[in-house]
Structure 1
Amino acid sequence: MAGQNQSRGSRSNNLVVPQANAALQQLKMEAAQELGVTIPQDGYMGNHTSRETGSLGGYITKRLVQMAEQQLSGRSNL
């Protein structure tokens, strides 16, 4: 079964480049603002619906893919 080797409560989405954390947080805030999702100051998203958090995650993924495609094609606007 998936996740058997992980201790209880550990996160499986560890950043490969920890220095990218600030940029990812900024992207999350921008995406939330564009979608009209309010992110609480403490970061706890447990009071949000699955639809809200799922749409936010999907939108962030879409933006990351677009950024990667632009970089690979040499049209980086970063």
Structure 2
Amino acid sequence: MAAGRRRLPGETNPKLAKLKYEVAKDLGLKSDIDERGWDNMTTREVGKIGGNMVKKMVDSFKNEND
């Protein structure tokens, strides 16, 4: 992203969005997201998804650099 440019609400990187839904599905939270939407997910649920996304990204980076 260019310096000084901020993302607009709802504007996401397609690869990260795909990973987010993949992780949510793996954690069994996909149906909750479909029913309640992201705005109504608890901080704990969203944090769990984000934490697992980071873990997958780090693991992927490590595997690429081995």
1:29 aligns with 2:16: no
How much does 1:72 deviate?
Answer: 1.0
Task: State the TM-score, normalized to the length of structure 1.
Answer: 0.58
- How many corresponding residue pairs? 55
Task: State the TM-score, normalized to the length of structure 2.
Answer: 0.67
Given candidates 48, 55, 60, the residue that maps to 2:48 is: 55
Report the equivalent of 2:3: none
Q: 1:58 & 1:66 partners in 2: Cα distance?
A: 12
Q: 2:17 & 2:57 partners in 1: Cα distance?
A: 13
1:19-67 CA-to-partner distances (Å, cap 9, x unmatched) read xx22111111110000011334xxx522111110010000000000000
Report the equivalent of 1:15: none
For structure 2, list consecutive stretches of 5 or more residues without a partner in the other structure. Answer: 1-5
Poorly superposed stretches of 4+, deviation over 3 Å: none
For structure 1, list consecutive stretches of 5 or more residues without a partner in the other structure. Answer: 1-9, 12-17, 74-78
Query: Which secondary structure state, in structure 2, belongs to the residue aligned with residue 46 of structure 1?
Result: helix
Higher helix content, 1 or 2: 2
Larger RCO, structures 1/2 (Cα 8 Å, 6+ apart) = 2
- Structure number, greater radius of gyration: 1
